[in-house]
Amino acid sequence: MRYLGVEDIDDLVAGATVLGGGGGGDWYAPRQMLLHAVQTHGPVQLVAAADLAPDAPVLPIISAGTPSALVEMFHGERESVLLRALVEQRLPRPCAAVLPVQPGPVNALIPLVVAAQLGLPCIDADIMLRCFPAIEMTVFTLAGIPAAPLFAVDARGSSVVLDAPDDSTVSALLRSCMPHMGLVAMVSTYRVTAGDCARLTGGSGLTRCMRIGRALRGCQGSPDGLAEFGAVTLFTGVVAELLHRTTGGFPRGVLTIEASDPARVMRIDFQNENLVATEDGVVVVTVPDLINLHDADTGTVLQTVDVLVGQRVHVVAMPVGGSWHTSEGLALAGPRAFGLQVDAVAAPSANAVGG
Amino acid sequence: MSGVTLGRLLAMGLLTGYEVLGGAGGLDRRVRMVVPGTTVAGVEELAPGSVVVFGPEQLVLDDLSADLALRLGRSAGLAGILAELPGRPVPLVTRRLADKLGLPLVGLPAVSAAAVAATFDPYVRAPEIAGLRLLGTTAQRFQTAPASPAQLTSTLSATLGGPVALVDAEGRLVSGDADAHDPLGRADIRAHLDRSRPVAGTFELEPGPPAVPARLADPDTVLVAPVQLDRDGPAAFWLAARLSGLPGALLGPVRQSLGVAALSFAVYVAGHTAILERESRRRSLLLGEILDQIGEAGGPAPRTVERAAALGWRLAGWHTAVHLAVKESSATIRAGELAGEVEDRLTSSGLPARLVERVDGWAFWTTSESEAAALEPGELRRILGDALHAVETDHRGLVLCAGVGGGYPGTAGIARSLDEARQACLLARTESGAPGTNRVEHVDAVSMKRLLVGWYGSGTLRSVADEIVTPLITADPGGELVRTLRLYLDLESSATLTAARLGVHRNTVMQRIDRARRLLSVDLDDPDDRIVVHLAIRAVGIDWDGR
Amino acid sequence: MSGLRVGVALTGHRAVAVLIDHDDAVLAHHAVEASSLPAGDRSPGRPSRAMYQNGDKVGPDVPDPVHRENTAHRAGPRAATGGLIDLLGRVLTCLADAPTRARVERIVVATEDPVGLLERPVELAPVGILRIAAPATTSVPPLTGWPPRLAAAVRGPVAVVGGGHQYDGRELAPLDLAAVAAFGRACRGTVCAVAVAGAGAPTNPVHEERARSVLLELLGPDVPIVTSHDVGGAGLLERENTVVLGAAVAPAVEEFASAATSALVEAGVDADLYLVTGDGTVLPAGLAIRHPLALLGAPHGAARGAPVEAGLFSEVAGVRTSIRPLRVAETPEAVRPPRGELAAAIGAATGQASGTVDAVFFYGEGGRDECVATARRSARELAIRRGADPRTVRVGEVREGAMTYIPVRCVRLRVTATGPVMATGGLR
């Protein structure tokens, strides 16, 4: 049996930043939440879904909203209890464990906070395999499981239950509720059992996230430390230009990164997360695989909102789980799903590049 | 050779508000056709040499697809991609990619792609129409004379779609682009410019290595046209244009355009020269008038003073005059031009001067509120020396010299300083030695001050000065004591005058002098000691090591 | 108008001063060394903090009769201040004669020594910590994750009370005035200063301002109150950390500012006193007390000479704050003043005043353009309050960040206004 204690938190944070792929919000407040929760309630038990009763309901958890609102008005201590009660009203029996949804800098941590506060174990898995901006970009959706009913509570005590015939309507309803919830809500979505999780999530998502973090911290943020996870440095250069624009409420933008050889320039298209890396009009790697910018001087894995012109960065590609590379997976989370009219390109394999 | 380049198409003025976002190096490729674009992927199917025009529905320039279009366009051998400007910045990476591929990427204000293609296509298919258009545009743009050489070259360059240079009779670049100036050094072109009867000419350059690999480099054509102030006279200037991939059908119109521009510029030069000469004569007459009236009661007549003021001359104040003359000359430069060049050099060194023609050279003077505010003579000599040297460098065989007068107040001071300056200039003319040495002489150079300067610089005085002054500085690091004592001695020991100059009470001065007396190791009442202290204290603060 | 200014780079062992005229020409410069380090009369009469060591919530209202006199807490800071003030007085006297000194219209001091106290937690006195954000944010009590020694040193009464504002400026909850008052009473006689941080304060500072009035009423003017909308920046925890650290050194900064003012009078200088901040801009000494941590990095900031684009959050004493570190590598060569050791003193004397606004703006009827105009106006007014000349203050580029993931009629704007400090010589 494995527990997550105070000493594991910084590894988890570092790994979640990598899986954030340039987005997923700031880890600072969630990290302090987890620290306080573990200090108060003790280490969180991590369980494999297969070790739970297959028909036991689980409580998927994601903190939804806007990162810049979360840093001002993060969760109190009541939301987890409220949310669980709301979910369990519709269940035949209590939830057996918490299930992380999105392994990003905020949402790899929040489910563990909830688990600690509720005294539940946390399943060692997640259902996005990396950070994506929409709650329906999950392996459950690929398996045909609907996102509804979706439950959301906020710090002031408001709550909603959203039922809808399809996932895009659920998403739209949630977006229209968020402004009234202070742009921060604790959300449970997908009605699934431990058996569904065991069947669909692969295994050890949180443990892997911590291993990634440990490897990264072990080499002071150098991308070389992530070779065992398939990470490849595509490009090294200085951020020469940063263009932001907002389309349909989503912050999009383009980064221009110049190598020391002035003939080499890389383009990164992003929308919260880094989506496509292009050199000379040739697409090098795209979502669903991860594209990260490592500050070449400090080793910090940068979020797109933090990039500054003049920063020297490594552009690092890292593959994500196989289910995203099926045609259904690419239709849901490939570049075209983000409005970029290019075909998906998988991250080059570390072995192939390394010879 | 047939076909127009994209650069020339753009230069025709058919479109306004376009922006070459990148790939300017490819603007000289010949265009075979101009077509509206359908899809980005469709770029692959286009014929080499095509220019494709996209509407906003097909291509958004800050979108990733712009990079893809450039890459596909490059492999299809396109001559350019035109698309609507998105109203947002186009990413640097896209502009850099266009540069790297040498494929022009041009942003247009909102227009229909089909309309742009339809506008350009006739000129591409029948270059002679383009030629007529070119000539028409030139005639329209040079209907009135240009306001300056820079305007001439920039307008002509924009009209012809290539670099243009204006050079003087000796082949020096006056304005415009070095790319058009460089080829004029070639022997046959040089000989053409030196012919006694100037005529227009056309030359082909050897093709250099292509700017973009795997592309055929067209030979560049250089066209030259003389600017003549009278029909049978020499060329005062030459206009040169350098154009690549010039189709035969355009050669005539370009040559004629150059001629039109040269004629238009000649009008400017004639007018400008007349103005300069008139002004110079006016200044010369006015100075003579002022000098004549000095002896008269009441000084210069009010009307004279008024005219002087209109020229920006100040008769009151502290004047320092400079006299300039030509020492040796084998150059053919005209006197008026030479004065203008000296004025330009002085102005760019921060000494704006208007030269007044005199019998044996030119003169000018600087005016300040007081002696203290006047330019330091050494500095003035340095600026003059540098300016004369710079002008000499431009004209082989020319040697100039100058004299600087002393500084004197009032209108009479102008006359006196001018006299001294002329004498010093004569001294400079008689100096032998290598050209460039002692080209500026100061009237004071042989006066009493030279003795003092030597005295100040002597090691004996320096050590004495240190010994005498150190206690004063130690006691008052702010330097008030030293300043007060120096002024007191300069003003013949008048505490009242010293107090007035320093803006303090007389008693304060007395207190300081008493304090200084106590600190000094010598007796201020002893005339010998007093002279030594006076010299020592004046030497304080002189930058010995900087000498 | 004399236009004479003095810049001083001041550390515990050395003071370098320059006198410059209205054209920024250096007329004189001087340096003095400390003869010996000041003898440390370390912190007698420090209040016992054991009583509040575990007080995450409002502690019991137990005034300590022996230590009601607040100035007693500042014995430590004063001992350190004495040395600085001695150096300041000496360097001014040697820099110029009395008539010249009398004509000086502005003195700008670059020092971070009063803030250096943070490196010696044992000398810090407890701080009252008030967060206005409940019921949100209660999952992280103040001081969570702080280095234990530092947390123990600054921990006075702590309260998280109802109130604060949402992303669009609406109330998150009504301000719980009773809880604020209870907290204020717990602070009486037990703390050297109070830190106040409210959710959404950069967008709407009303609750922080009201809490300040209540606390001022209860604690009197001698206890500095540092509020988070004055320090600015995104992130409640980051701002809270900044005001707690700031409050811990506020008495030392206040002590320094008032002692420096007396030293000026003694030296016959009737001039405005400004302090340099870590980004190289200047603050009137009276305002520095509102953001004491801003003095961090002052000598370096002054030496660099011009404000530059700042980076991510920076850590101070092991705690993440809302202060943005400077990216020195990006400084353009042209703005770097020469002259080696004089650089900091010249940079101080020529330093500009600035105001930065970094907050979420809600589109009112005027839409986005009005938000941008409001942000620009606020930055400009802030710069002017900090001494910038209204005639020459320039508003920089507005950096815009969208509210990610959820489309709302809000925008996060960050803009800085900068300008030369207004000459006041004409008034003398």
Residues from chain B contacting residue C94 (CB–CB below 8 Å)? 477-478
Residues from chain B contacting residue C97 (CB–CB below 8 Å)? 476, 478, 480
The predicted-structure confidence for A266-315, as pLDDT tens digits, reads as follows 999 998 899 999 999 999 999 999 999 999 988 899 988 788 888 999 99
Kindly identify which residue of chain B lies nearest to residue C93, measuring between CA atoms: B478
Instruction: Check: CB of residue C221 under 8 Å from CB of residue C212.
Output: no
What's the mean pLDDT in C380-399? 89
Q: What gap in Å lies between CA C380 and CA C394, rounded to an integer?
A: 8
Listed in sequence order, the residues at least 6 apart from A333 whose beta carbon sits closer than 8 Å to its beta carbon are: A132, A137, A287, A288, A324
Mutation to test the A interface, candidates C143, C166, C172, C411, most A Cβ within 10 Å: C166
Tell me whether B121 touches chain C (CB under 8 Å). no
C183 pLDDT tier (thresholds 50, 70, 90):
very high
What's the mean pLDDT in B356-364? 85
Listed in sequence order, the residues at least 6 apart from C262 whose beta carbon sits closer than 8 Å to its beta carbon are: C85
Query: Is a pLDDT exceeding 90 seen at residue B279?
Result: no
Tell me whether C54 touches chain A (CB under 8 Å). no
CA distance A232 to chain C (A): 26
* pLDDT the model gives residue C78: 47
CA distance B219 to chain A (A): 27
CB contact under 8 A, C30 and B477: yes
Tell me whether A310 touches chain B (CB under 8 Å). no
Lowest mean pLDDT among A65-69, A339-343, B2-6: B2-6
- Residues, chain A: 355
Mutation to test the B interface, candidates C6, C97, C104, C397, most B Cβ within 10 Å: C97
The predicted-structure confidence for A83-126, as pLDDT tens digits, reads as follows 999 999 999 999 999 999 999 999 999 999 999 999 999 999 99
Listed in sequence order, the residues at least 6 apart from B28 whose beta carbon sits closer than 8 Å to its beta carbon are: B5, B7, B162, B218, B244, B245
CB contact under 8 A, B62 and A341: no
* pLDDT the model gives residue A354: 35
What's the mean pLDDT in B450-466? 63
State the DSSP code for C312: S
**Measured between CB atoms, which of A256, A263, A340 is closest to B93?**
A256
Instruction: Write phi, then psi, for C306 (nearest 5 degrees).
Output: -150, 145
* pLDDT the model gives residue A319: 95
Q: What gap in Å lies between CA C13 and CA C35, rounded to an integer?
A: 8
Residues from chain C contacting residue B541 (CB–CB below 8 Å)? none
Compute chain A's Rg from CA coordinates. Answer: 19
* pLDDT the model gives residue A349: 73
* Pairs across A and C, CB distance < 8 A: 144
Query: Is a pLDDT exceeding 90 seen at residue A146?
Result: yes
Tell me whether B213 touches chain A (CB under 8 Å). no
Degrees to nearest 5, angle at CA C323 with C322 and C326: 140
B241 pLDDT tier (thresholds 50, 70, 90):
very high
* pLDDT the model gives residue B544: 38
Q: What gap in Å lies between CA B347 and CA B340, rounded to an integer?
A: 10
Instruction: Write phi, then psi, for A211 (nearest 5 degrees).
Output: -65, -40
What's the mean pLDDT in B78-104? 93
Lowest mean pLDDT among A30-44, A75-89, B394-408: B394-408
What's the mean pLDDT in C201-215? 96
Query: Is a pLDDT exceeding 70 seen at residue C227?
Result: yes
Instruction: Check: CB of residue C59 under 8 Å from CB of residue C157.
Output: yes
Q: What gap in Å lies between CA C224 and CA C254, rounded to an integer?
A: 8
The predicted-structure confidence for C289-309, as pLDDT tens digits, reads as follows 899 998 888 877 777 655 444
CA neighbor of C353 nearest in space, from C323, C328, C390: C390
Question: How many angstroms from the chain centroid is the CA of residue B512?
Answer: 52
Listed in sequence order, the residues at least 6 apart from C81 whose beta carbon sits closer than 8 Å to its beta carbon are: C114, C252, C255, C256, C259
The predicted-structure confidence for A158-199, as pLDDT tens digits, reads as follows 999 999 999 999 999 998 999 899 999 999 999 999 999 999
Residues from chain A contacting residue B67 (CB–CB below 8 Å)? 267, 278, 280-281
* pLDDT the model gives residue C59: 34
Residues from chain A contacting residue C135 (CB–CB below 8 Å)? 76, 78, 155-157
What's the mean pLDDT in A50-75? 94
Instruction: Check: CB of residue B380 under 8 Å from CB of residue B387.
Output: no
Q: What gap in Å lies between CA B457 and CA B168, rounded to an integer?
A: 49
CB contact under 8 A, A280 and B97: yes
Question: How far, in Å, are B25, B53, B75, C165 from residue B102 at the CA level?
Answer: 5, 17, 12, 55
Q: B236 or C240: which carries more pLDDT confidence?
A: C240
Give A125's strand partners.
none
Degrees to nearest 5, angle at CA B456 with B451 and B461: 120
Mutation to test the C interface, candidates B480, B481, B511, B512, most C Cβ within 10 Å: B480
The predicted-structure confidence for C318-333, as pLDDT tens digits, reads as follows 899 888 765 843 444 4
CB contact under 8 A, C405 and A182: no
Q: Would you list which residues of chain C are within 8 Å, Cβ to Cβ, of chain B?
A: 28, 30, 94-97, 99-100
What's the mean pLDDT in C146-161? 96
Lowest mean pLDDT among A9-18, B102-111, B248-257, C192-201: B248-257
Residues from chain A contacting residue C405 (CB–CB below 8 Å)? 64-67, 133, 250, 272
Query: Is a pLDDT exceeding 90 seen at residue A254?
Result: yes
C340 pLDDT tier (thresholds 50, 70, 90):
low
What's the mean pLDDT in B48-56? 92
A353 pLDDT tier (thresholds 50, 70, 90):
very low
What's the mean pLDDT in C203-216? 96
CA distance B176 to chain A (A): 29
CB C1: neighbour CB atoms within 10 A? 12
**Measured between CB atoms, which of B65, B88, B93 is closest to A265?**
B93
Residues 211-240 of A with CB under 8 A from C: none
What's the mean pLDDT in B343-348? 86
Instruction: Check: CB of residue A19 under 8 Å from CB of residue A108.
Output: yes
Lowest mean pLDDT among A20-34, B118-132, B192-206: B118-132
* pLDDT the model gives residue C311: 52
CA distance C97 to chain B (A): 6
The predicted-structure confidence for B138-167, as pLDDT tens digits, reads as follows 888 998 888 888 999 999 988 887 889 999
Query: Is a pLDDT exceeding 80 seen at residue C47?
Result: no
CA distance C340 to chain A (A): 26
CB contact under 8 A, B100 and A263: yes
Q: What is the mean pLDDT of chain A?
A: 93
**Measured between CB atoms, which of B476, B478, B504 is closest to C28?**
B478
* pLDDT the model gives residue A296: 92
Instruction: Write phi, then psi, for C10 (nearest 5 degrees).
Output: -130, 125
* pLDDT the model gives residue C45: 31
What type of residue sits at position B283? R
CB contact under 8 A, A263 and B94: no
Q: What gap in Å lies between CA B88 and CA B61, rounded to an integer?
A: 9
* pLDDT the model gives residue C334: 38
Listed in sequence order, the residues at least 6 apart from B480 whose beta carbon sits closer than 8 Å to its beta carbon are: B512, C97
Tell me whether B64 touches chain A (CB under 8 Å). yes
Instruction: Write phi, then psi, for A293 (nearest 5 degrees).
Output: -110, 120
Q: What gap in Å lies between CA B388 and CA B324, rounded to an integer?
A: 9
**Measured between CB atoms, which of A28, A71, A310 is closest to C327?**
A310
For residue B368, is it left (φ>0), alpha (ψ between -120 and 50) or beta? Answer: beta
Instruction: Check: CB of residue A258 under 8 Å from CB of residue A235.
Output: no
Instruction: Check: CB of residue A134 under 8 Å from CB of residue A112.
Output: no
CB C218: neighbour CB atoms within 10 A? 18
Query: Is a pLDDT exceeding 60 seen at residue B270?
Result: yes
What's the mean pLDDT in B189-195? 87
Instruction: Write phi, then psi, for B205 (nearest 5 degrees).
Output: -95, 150
Query: Is a pLDDT exceeding 60 seen at residue B127?
Result: yes
Q: What gap in Å lies between CA C164 and CA C49, rounded to an integer?
A: 29
Mutation to test the B interface, candidates A267, A282, A340, A343, most B Cβ within 10 Å: A267
* pLDDT the model gives residue B412: 84
What's the mean pLDDT in C262-284? 89
Residues from chain A contacting residue B91 (CB–CB below 8 Å)? 241, 243, 254, 256, 267
Is the bond preceding B300 in cis, omega lying within 30 degrees of 0?
A: no
B107 pLDDT tier (thresholds 50, 70, 90):
very high
Tell me whether B88 touches chain C (CB under 8 Å). no
CA distance A242 to chain B (A): 8
Instruction: Show contacts of A160-165: CB within 8 Å, 24+ apart.
Output: A161/A86, A161/A90
* pLDDT the model gives residue B170: 78
CB B115: neighbour CB atoms within 10 A? 12
C65 pLDDT tier (thresholds 50, 70, 90):
very low
Q: B213 or C95: which carries more pLDDT confidence?
A: C95
Lowest mean pLDDT among A218-227, A329-338, B345-354, B519-528: B519-528
Listed in sequence order, the residues at least 6 apart from A81 whose beta carbon sits closer than 8 Å to its beta carbon are: A117, A118
CB contact under 8 A, A281 and B92: no
Give B326's strand partners.
B400
* Pairs across A and B, CB distance < 8 A: 55
Q: What is the mean pLDDT of chain B?
A: 81
pTM value?
Answer: 0.69
A21 pLDDT tier (thresholds 50, 70, 90):
very high
Kindly identify which residue of chain A lies nearest to residue C146, measuring between CA atoms: A32
* pLDDT the model gives residue C77: 47
Degrees to nearest 5, angle at CA C77 with C107 and C251: 75
CB contact under 8 A, A245 and B88: yes
What's the mean pLDDT in B438-457? 58
Tabulate helix, strand, coil % of chain B (nearest 5). 50, 15, 30
What's the mean pLDDT in C374-384? 92
CB contact under 8 A, A243 and B91: yes
Q: What is the mean pLDDT of chain C?
A: 81
State the DSSP code for C126: P
**Measured between CB atoms, which of A257, A258, A281 is closest to B67?**
A281
Listed in sequence order, the residues at least 6 apart from A335 whose beta carbon sits closer than 8 Å to its beta carbon are: A275, A276, A286, A287, A341, A342, A343, A344
What tokens appear for C382 in the block?
């802030």
Instruction: Write phi, then psi, for C280 (nearest 5 degrees).
Output: 90, -5
Query: Is a pLDDT exceeding 80 seen at residue A148?
Result: yes
What tokens appear for B57 in the block?
């529905």
Tell me whether B366 touches chain A (CB under 8 Å). no
Q: Please, is C338 exposed, middle or buried when counting C-beta atoms within 10 Å of its C-beta (0-12, 13-18, 19+)?
A: exposed
* pLDDT the model gives residue B463: 75
Instruction: Write phi, then psi, for A133 (nearest 5 degrees).
Output: -85, -10
CA distance C96 to chain B (A): 5
Tabulate helix, strand, coil % of chain C (nearest 5). 40, 25, 35
CB contact under 8 A, B480 and C97: yes
Query: Is a pLDDT exceeding 70 seen at residue B108?
Result: yes
Residue B292's SS3 state is helix
Instruction: Check: CB of residue A38 under 8 Å from CB of residue A119.
Output: no
What type of residue sits at position A128? M
Query: Is a pLDDT exceeding 80 seen at residue B462?
Result: no
Q: B330 or A85: which carries more pLDDT confidence?
A: A85
Instruction: Write phi, then psi, for A269 (nearest 5 degrees).
Output: -95, 130
**Measured between CB atoms, which of A32, A35, A308 is closest to C311?**
A308
* pLDDT the model gives residue C96: 86
Listed in sequence order, the residues at least 6 apart from A80 whose beta carbon sits closer than 8 Å to its beta carbon are: A113, A114, A117, A118, A186
